[in-house]
């Protein structure tokens, strides 16, 4: 991982090398992160989900090259936890590390963009499908409801399924007899 990071960092001055917070054997990469950062390699420490990881990575990056800390807020939310308090605390932890920016990684919905902005998160990664929903911001909910009903109607028509209501009623009556 170290040799690859050094190689990749030479590609351009604006490259941030991704280093996972642990390796596949669950061993933290804090020493490697510290070594690379203090050699001047800009890092994006990734796959982070706990505040303890943020604390340790912040310490490792302190005084080193400009770097990013990617907390996978969307995956935190996938576990039933609200990611906002986690991300707020991560920001607070990183306040003492001026060369380090927090990334709200792995968002799941458009609301996450607004949540990240509201807490002052430095960066959010956003997929095209979420960006496409920006056109819905401020949409009248009554119109949105009608659009949804029309979509259901169109989907039913495209499915080609028909229901013989008269036969269903006859069948219901005969089963009561």
* Residues recognised as catalytic: 18
CA gap 47, 74 in Å, rounded: 11
CA gap 112, 73 in Å, rounded: 9
């Amino acid at each position: 991982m170290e040799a690859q990071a050094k190689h990749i960092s030479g590609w351009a001055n604006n490259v941030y090398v991704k280093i996972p917070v642990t390796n596949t054997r669950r061993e933290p990469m804090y020493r490697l992160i510290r070594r690379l950062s203090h050699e001047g390699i800009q890092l994006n420490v990734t796959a982070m989900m706990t505040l303890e990881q943020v604390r340790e990575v912040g310490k490792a990056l302190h005084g080193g090259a400009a770097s990013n800390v990617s907390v996978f807020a969307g995956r935190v939310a996938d576990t039933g936890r609200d990611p906002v308090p986690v991300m707020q605390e991560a920001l607070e932890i990183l306040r003492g590390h001026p060369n380090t920016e927090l990334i709200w990684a792995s968002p799941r919905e458009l609301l996450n963009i607004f949540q990240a902005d509201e807490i002052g998160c430095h960066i959010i990664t956003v997929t095209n499908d979420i960006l496409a929903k920006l056109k819905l911001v401020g949409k009248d909910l009554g119109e949105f409801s009608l659009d949804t009903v029309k979509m259901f109607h169109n989907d039913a028509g495209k499915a080609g399924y028909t229901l013989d209501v008269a036969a269903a009623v006859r069948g219901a009556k005969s089963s009561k007899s």
